[in-house]
Structure 1
Amino acid sequence: MQPRLLPLAALAAATALALTGCVPNASAPGATHAALTVDSSATACTVSASTASAGNVTFTVSNSGDQVTEFYLLGDDQLRIVGEAENIGPGLSRTLVVDLNAGSYFTACKPGMTGAGIGQAPFTVTPSSAADAATNAPGDADLAARVETANANYASYVKDQIGQLVTGTAAFAAAYTAGDDDTARTLYAATRAHWERVETVAESFGDLDPKLDLREADLEEGQDWTGWHAIEKDLWPADAEAGFAAYPAAERARLAGLLVADTATLNEKVQPLSFTLAQQTNGAIGLLDEVATGKVTGEEEVWSHTDLWDFQANVDGARVLYAGVRDVLVQKDADLAATLDTRFAALQALLDAQRVGDGFVLYTDLSTGTVKGLADQVNALAEPLGRLTAALVL
């Protein structure tokens, strides 16, 4: 019997959006400072304190493990990268300086610089004094620095998500080729979430997108069908057309091998990427378009019916993009920022209502009214989100 629910791994969906700036190595005269240490070992990520006051915070990261490591400061959604220290060799240290506003964050380390990381822990930034706030009020130069940092942090986020996609895809492909269909079905939606969070970036590589994510309905005559959805159909044969024959072992091995290889190629292609503010804002708009045209209609996962996992991941990606530029938007159009905060939260509340354990109900279990409610809220968010680029760039 096929499982009716799949676990949702590492899709934290906090609805609050922190007003967060991260300007590495910036320090205004009179600004507040906190100096913290981080020990990154093979098994732990130990930060000397879990709180700091708003302003410049310095993390001195020492690697006591035996692999090259990274340190991350994440936003309250546990996805957005606020700051990072990379390529810290065994026995070495590196300093990360970030200018933080009050809010909730998470710290984490990544020994070996692969996978989801270890030791993720809450980190709270408390409000500083009114005098500090006045001293640190952003001017034009500071806003420009925040934009530059937001662009760099989003590039890091994309690389991190695709890196986790590589790791997850390897585990999924191994289970699939071994004939362990239950494990493969369990891994399917959670692994694809890493793709869906940065889908608009992945789609920019036109040759790889159809290899990895083409739906059967979009196949052209004679086209070789590969990627996630070709495997999806084989894993959920009861929902395929009458007479569908399960793939033989050789075809499973071919599809899994191509999936792993094409994902590795994608990982190579994203490494040199950089982003502009317009690319970020348009990316957020594009991810919500993905929700409206595929996920909310149930057209993306026609056999597994795990569309809400994809829906959540697209919203995660759009929210990460918005949160990265939110403090800049507050300076330029506070009313638009307030509207976006409210509508992101409202859409997340509707999604949270469909959760079961670590996952979601299947799309086929949604009522017509629920689907309409989700679609209406996507449209309500799309309108102000569509004004983001003009507000920040033009």
Structure 2
Amino acid sequence: MTVLIRPLSAAAALAVTAFALTGCVAKAGADPSASFTVSSTADECTVSADTAQSGTLTFTVSNTGDQVSEFYLLADDGLRIIGEVENIAPAASRTLTVVAQPGDYFTVCKPGMIGEGVGRAAFTVRGDKVAIDGPDAEQKQQAVDLYAAFVKDQVGQLVPAVQELVTAYTDGDDERARELFATTRAYYERIEPVAEALGDLDPRIDYREVDAVAEGLDWTGFHRIEKDLWVPAEDALNADDETPAWQDWAPSTAEQRGEFGDLLIADVQELYDYVHSEDFTAALNDQGIAGISNGAVALLDEVATGKITGEEDWWSHTDLYDFAANVEGSKMAFSLVSEFVTAKGDEGAALVKDIAAGYSDLEQALGVHGSLDAGFVPFTDLNDTDKRNLIDLINALAEPLSQLTSVALS
């Protein structure tokens, strides 16, 4: 049976198509003075203050180190991601805007974008719980509800797709498993920021070998299965370009395949249970429009930090499938926020127009190499010019997209 990739269920798609917002945007407890600077270096993550009042917070992150970096605002357990900004190049700056509820948090930077990060520090938000009110509160809630429906729809399709992939993998039908691998992952790639917010669930499902080794974790999930399905050549190197791919590794036995398959099924079921829980609903409601907008940026960052380098699907070279799914998920999140931004007047309308044009250009360039329905060429078929063109288009879209949250909450 062929697994069909559907970005949305028919009902959710109709809801999004019919979704129109009017009026001005009520500020969710916004405080114009709640702006912070963050300095990210090789070994420090310095935030200009460690306390704030609940409401809209803006962190301007400057990377003065020599590696691409990330900045995170984490929940009190140090695992769940409240907000993040990725792909901050050396000498560059990026902005993170979040609606923060009262509570205890942590800030941390991650130079090199792997490992535990540096400069982890406590960050406290005081004040009253932020309520979404005003004349457009109902429309804001509808946007959040529609995004929740989108996530549930994708995970609901991921569960049987993973079951079919694992069945082929554990039965030794590698040809069928290879056919299913990339299309199955597309469901996960569309909603990856949600999964990343679940602590160690994302590492269990989707970590690359080099990341698991760097963090001292057991390597499981999609990419462990991937390496079994695309056995590396004897002279192949791992994704770090330093160690032979066969060093301290051998193809899984039938028993091990069963274990890896069962773990992936269990982890995806845990993801399903979470997105259908009250905790997930509460988390989305707390983040509101900012969470959806930041999700659009985060998914595009996934393209910029992994898919465009070819390091994500190191053995299968199916990176363009992930690329396309991330773009689809990002565009979906953008569509739910765009009407709020358009309602801001000429500046907001111009920003939405620029972002929409950026998505169109990126999708057109990606379409040259295939599609999720018809299949993509292997990433290794792309030449340097192809990659440079995609990188330029990602950067051109990322710049206006990074302004989306702040404009939506202004």
Q: TM-score, normalised by structure 2?
A: 0.63
1:197-234 deviations in Å (ceiling 9; x for gaps): 00011010111111111111112375321100000000
Among 301, 304, 313, the residue aligned to 2:316: 304
Do 1:9 and 1:358's aligned partners in 2 also have CA atoms closer than 8 Å?
A: no
In the other structure, the counterpart of 1:269 is: 274
3-state SS of the aligned residue for 1:72? helix
Task: From the superposition, tell whether residues 12 and 359 of structure 1 become closer, same or farther in structure 2 (CA, over 3 Å).
Answer: farther
In the other structure, the counterpart of 1:290 is: 302
- TM-superposed CA distance for 1:346, in Å, is 0.4
- TM-superposed CA distance for 1:341, in Å, is 1.0
In the other structure, the counterpart of 2:390 is: 374
Query: What amino acid maps onto 1:248 in structure 2?
Result: T
In the other structure, the counterpart of 2:222 is: 228
Among 335, 345, 350, the residue aligned to 1:323: 335
- TM-superposed CA distance for 1:144, in Å, is 3.2
Do 1:236 and 1:303's aligned partners in 2 also have CA atoms closer than 8 Å?
A: yes
Do 2:5 and 2:186's aligned partners in 1 also have CA atoms closer than 8 Å?
A: no
Query: What amino acid maps onto 2:318 in structure 1?
Result: T
In the other structure, the counterpart of 1:16 is: none
In the other structure, the counterpart of 1:159 is: 152
d(CA) in 2 for partners of 1:100, 1:219: 43
Gaps of 5+ in 1: 1-6, 14-69, 76-80, 84-97, 102-139
3-state SS of the aligned residue for 2:186? helix
Gaps of 5+ in 2: 22-132, 237-244
Do 1:343 and 1:381's aligned partners in 2 also have CA atoms closer than 8 Å?
A: yes
In the other structure, the counterpart of 1:132 is: none
Do 2:203 and 2:212's aligned partners in 1 also have CA atoms closer than 8 Å?
A: no
Among 159, 178, 181, the residue aligned to 2:174: 181
Q: Does 1:364 align with 2:364?
A: no
d(CA) in 2 for partners of 1:305, 1:197: 18
- TM-superposed CA distance for 1:267, in Å, is 0.8
1:318-372 deviations in Å (ceiling 9; x for gaps): 0000111222221111010110111110000011111167111111000100000
In the other structure, the counterpart of 1:72 is: 11
In the other structure, the counterpart of 1:82 is: 16
Task: From the superposition, tell whether residues 148 and 208 of structure 1 become closer, same or farther in structure 2 (CA, over 3 Å).
Answer: same
d(CA) in 2 for partners of 1:303, 1:252: 17
Query: What amino acid maps onto 1:186 in structure 2?
Result: E
In the other structure, the counterpart of 1:52 is: none
Q: Does 1:343 align with 2:343?
A: no
In the other structure, the counterpart of 1:355 is: 370
Task: From the superposition, tell whether residues 330 and 100 of structure 1 become closer, same or farther in structure 2 (CA, over 3 Å).
Answer: closer
Task: From the superposition, tell whether residues 216 and 268 of structure 1 become closer, same or farther in structure 2 (CA, over 3 Å).
Answer: same
In the other structure, the counterpart of 1:193 is: 186
Equivalences, count = 275
d(CA) in 2 for partners of 1:254, 1:344: 40
Task: From the superposition, tell whether residues 11 and 354 of structure 1 become closer, same or farther in structure 2 (CA, over 3 Å).
Answer: farther
d(CA) in 2 for partners of 1:146, 1:303: 44
Among 170, 195, 204, the residue aligned to 2:197: 204
Q: Does 1:150 align with 2:140?
A: no
Q: Does 1:260 align with 2:265?
A: yes
d(CA) in 1 for partners of 2:352, 2:212: 40
Task: From the superposition, tell whether residues 263 and 99 of structure 1 become closer, same or farther in structure 2 (CA, over 3 Å).
Answer: closer
3-state SS of the aligned residue for 2:11? strand
Q: Does 1:248 align with 2:182?
A: no
Q: TM-score, normalised by structure 1?
A: 0.66
C-alpha RMSD over aligned residues: 2.4
- TM-superposed CA distance for 1:99, in Å, is 6.2
